[in-house]
Chain A
Amino acid sequence: MVLELGYIEIKDLVFGQETRVHGSTLVVDQDAFKEALRSGDDRIQGLNLALAKPGQSTRIICVKDVIEPRCKVDGHSVGEGRTHILRNVAVVSCGKIVGFQEGLIDMSGAGAEHSPFSRTLNLVVEVEVAPELPPHAHEEVVRHAGLKAAGLLAEAARTLRPAEVERYHCLDTLEGGPKLPRVAYLYMLLSQGLLHDSYVLGRNAREGLPCIIPLPLLMDGAITSGNCVSACDKNTTYHHQNNPLVRELYQHHLQELNFAGVVLTNEPVRLAAKEASARKAVELVKTLKADAVIISKEGFGNPDTDQMLLIRGLEEAGVLTVSITDEYAGDNGASQSLADATPQARAMISVGNANERILLPPMERLLGPLEDLTRLAGAYPHSLHQDGSLEVELQAIIGSTNQLGFHTLRCREV
């Protein structure tokens, strides 16, 4: 199995007559695009398209997911053949708040430093769903609309010649140097119901995990996000498509280490299931004969327990661990950061205190369901100031403390 990822560089995004790439500008035919998105799903009642670009005075709220536009140009299934990608472009889906955890993206100002999607050219798809739909269906409609929009947009890249092509092989087909330490990646996915689910090849991550996933499958977008749990540390589909740990490990493969493989695991809601998943994940890491493993987490609170169970299990089995986590240390940084702890967790990477407050300047343009602004998690009833500025915790910003290690933000003792 070999996967080729071909990147088409995009430098600008505009509305126009026909959806296509013109030079390095992506043109979107707004009406045709809307029509195509709505067709086949009568649960969509209203649809708004907007463009949000870096540097603009624009705030996108109630973001459900962010997706990188990709299309399969050669090959029959996920993980093989060639996929074309519109680089620097993202589809941002948003809709009414169903839970509490949908977040925001600022395209400029202090907040823009904290989201990777403040730096992408965004096609914002705001979906209004038929009112009588139950929450699960509501989320499904918005999720599918986002994924569909990304697919439609990527059609513009189908026949183009990519500026750069990356190749991903199955790891087990590569000869590993016998002296190099074997390193695995343990990839935790949130799997806890409405607003808290992830999907692997379209299947809910609550079932069928833990498992080993071939690298080309992973890099070809096998994982999609179905959750809006705290904006700061949920992994959007875009994060999954561009997992920085996988990239790092692949780059160092056969240099100072041998990338032994990726184990996916979930974060169930029952303790017995957590323990069972942890046991199985540890077994799978052992079958990869890993000497060491990096563990990434999604969400916080009870997933801290999943991470600690994994760390304990692996360290006791003689596998060295390094784990990535964010912190909830209170806005003054004086509180305990995690819900769970274990003495074996001696090697932690901290990607930031999600409780730290930030003042976001007023924006000229607001996109998304505005009435829900102060209901975002990490926002307070008094968050929205008279002048339109917004005081929130970092956790309200999409991807601000991403636990795949996307960012340079870290937390330390002072």
Chain B
Amino acid sequence: MSTSYKVVHCLNQFFGGLGGEEQAGAAPTLVQGPKGPGLLIENSVPGLRVMSTLIFGDNYLAENTEKAVQEILNLLAPCFEGDDAGRPDLLLAGPAFNAGRYGIGCGALCQAVQERWGIPAVTAMFPENPAVALYRKTVFIAETSDDVRGMAEAIQRMTPLGLKLVRRESCLPEEDHYIAQGRRKNVRAAKTGAQRALEMLVQRLQGEPFESEYPMPVFDRVRPAPPVADMRRARLALVTSGGIVPRGNPDKIEAANAQRFGSYPIKNLQRLSSQSHQTVHGGYDPTCANGDPNRVLPLDAVRELESEGAIGSLHDWYYATVGNATSVESAQRYGQAIAKILLADGVQAVLLTST
């Protein structure tokens, strides 16, 4: 006997049968059982049941996404928070093909539902749908053709992918036909790194096509902030990724891939010393920094300049983490948290030191 799966399906006003563009402003409603493409979903896998269908107007969701999503979550809550036996295993949305507003609705709903209730959610779109760029990193999006003629194929991709996620099986973009999420994952290759390197080199020498195993990343840019008008009146803060912490490492910041940053008082401190501070950075020879931590976080020189009036004032704390195999994601989080504290204290200028 096959396992049965319970699915909640989301459709826009058109596929949900409410009407065309004139109904695009329709508020979300929840109806029992499958509608339109939902019937195909039920037929595609034996034992699968579409419990209910959530229908929303394209504009209603795309124009005020945050509020509409909240409204929909409230509608769905009884169904996801009910008794175990009745709880859905999976949320499917679309397919949205190349429809931008519909895509945004599907992406936003999948993201919200998987975040709130921790169940897998899958949608399906044409790769150039603008919603793909918005949601592919967080949501599994099965790849479809650009219009409704690809409906059968879209269902054949979206449903099995969803079930694989329910069963916690691992998925690959080319095998499961979803749009790559940009996540890096370890797998086993048939050949060693050395063999693959030589193979790629021969391909390059012969002018054959080859595929880099790590395409170069594109880093985002921030517009430079305007200059500080006069440092003699400005409040300066010190931040370091060089792992300088009070002796004993009170926050237990990791030597590599730091999971936190620390905030340490320097209010009455004129300089750091080998008795008071140390490095916990695992990526460089610690001898120099432990001998004199000012070599990484130049508090002594900053205090000197402050006393001479070259710096208005110094923020009473400094912030430190270890920038050693620490992910950009973590660094962003620490940066945001530190920025918030500094802004609250009226800091205008920051000296960030790295090793």
Do A and B interact directly, with beta carbons closer than 8 Å?
Answer: yes
Question: Which A residues fall within an 8 A CB radius of B?
Answer: 99-101, 135-136, 181, 183, 192-196, 229-230, 244-245, 247-249, 252, 256-257, 269, 291-292, 294, 300-302, 320, 322, 324-325, 327-338, 341-343, 345-356, 375, 377-378, 380-381, 393-395, 402-414
Q: What are 25 A-B contacts with C-beta separation under 8 Å?
A: A135-B287, A195-B285, A230-B283, A245-B198, A291-B205, A292-B204, A322-B197, A324-B197, A328-B257, A330-B330, A331-B327, A334-B184, A334-B329, A345-B216, A346-B212, A347-B210, A348-B212, A348-B216, A377-B325, A395-B257, A408-B189, A411-B214, A412-B213, A413-B180, A413-B185
- Residues facing A in B257-276 (CB within 8 A) are 257, 259
A334-B137 CB under 8 A given contacts A100-B256, A193-B284: yes
Question: In the complex the two chains form, what is the Cα distance from A407 to B280 in whole Å?
Answer: 30
Question: Which B residues fall within an 8 A CB radius of A?
Answer: 137, 171-173, 180-198, 200-202, 204-205, 210, 212-217, 219, 252, 254-257, 259, 280, 282-287, 323-330
Pick the residue among B182, B186, B217, B326 that contacts A410 (CB under 8 A): B186
Interface of chain B: mostly helix, strand, loop or mixed: loop
Question: In the complex the two chains form, what is the Cα distance from A57 to B244 in whole Å?
Answer: 38
Question: Are B192 and A194 in contact, with the CB atoms below 8 A?
Answer: no
Pick the residue among A328, A342, A349, A381 that contacts B325 (CB under 8 A): A328
A353-B185 CB under 8 A given contacts A343-B216, A380-B259, A395-B256: yes
Question: In the complex the two chains form, what is the Cα distance from A411 to B217 in whole Å?
Answer: 15
Task: Name the 10 nearest CB pairs between A and B, nearest first.
Answer: A193-B285, A405-B193, A405-B194, A330-B327, A100-B255, A335-B327, A100-B282, A244-B194, A333-B184, A329-B184
Contacts of B171 in A (CB 8 A): 414
A311 to B: closest C-beta gap in Å = 10
A349-B193 CB under 8 A given contacts A380-B254, A414-B181: yes
A229 to B: closest C-beta gap in Å = 7
Contacts of A402 in B (CB 8 A): 193
- Since A349-B213, A353-B185 are in contact, a sample of 15 more A-B pairs with Cβ atoms closer than 8 Å, ordered by chain A residue number, is A248-B198, A249-B198, A294-B197, A301-B323, A330-B329, A330-B330, A335-B328, A341-B219, A377-B325, A408-B190, A409-B193, A410-B187, A411-B213, A412-B184, A413-B183
Contacts of A405 in B (CB 8 A): 192-197
Question: Are A410 and B256 in contact, with the CB atoms below 8 A?
Answer: no
Question: Are B284 and A192 in contact, with the CB atoms below 8 A?
Answer: yes
Question: Are A244 and B217 in contact, with the CB atoms below 8 A?
Answer: no
Question: Are B214 and A350 in contact, with the CB atoms below 8 A?
Answer: yes
A337-B197 CB under 8 A given contacts A100-B280, A393-B257: no
A338-B212 CB under 8 A given contacts A194-B287, A352-B186, A353-B185: no
A306 to B: closest C-beta gap in Å = 14
Pick the residue among A256, A333, A343, A345 that contacts B185 (CB under 8 A): A333
A30 to B: closest C-beta gap in Å = 34
Contacts of A196 in B (CB 8 A): 284-285
Contacts of A412 in B (CB 8 A): 184-185, 187, 213
Question: Are B201 and A320 in contact, with the CB atoms below 8 A?
Answer: yes
Contacts of A350 in B (CB 8 A): 213-214
A346-B214 CB under 8 A given contacts A230-B325, A248-B198, A413-B182: no
Question: In the complex the two chains form, what is the Cα distance from A347 to B198 in whole Å?
Answer: 11
Question: Are A327 and B256 in contact, with the CB atoms below 8 A?
Answer: no
Question: In the complex the two chains form, what is the Cα distance from A236 to B287 in whole Å?
Answer: 23
Question: In the complex the two chains form, what is the Cα distance from A410 to B196 in whole Å?
Answer: 10
Question: Are A327 and B216 in contact, with the CB atoms below 8 A?
Answer: no
Contacts of B196 in A (CB 8 A): 349, 405, 410
Contacts of B189 in A (CB 8 A): 408-410
A207 to B: closest C-beta gap in Å = 16
Question: Are A414 and B197 in contact, with the CB atoms below 8 A?
Answer: no
A409 to B: closest C-beta gap in Å = 6
Question: Are B325 and A337 in contact, with the CB atoms below 8 A?
Answer: no
Contacts of B324 in A (CB 8 A): 301
Question: Are A294 and B198 in contact, with the CB atoms below 8 A?
Answer: yes
Question: Are A353 and B186 in contact, with the CB atoms below 8 A?
Answer: yes
Pick the residue among B184, B257, B287, B323 that contacts A411 (CB under 8 A): B184
B282 to A: closest C-beta gap in Å = 4
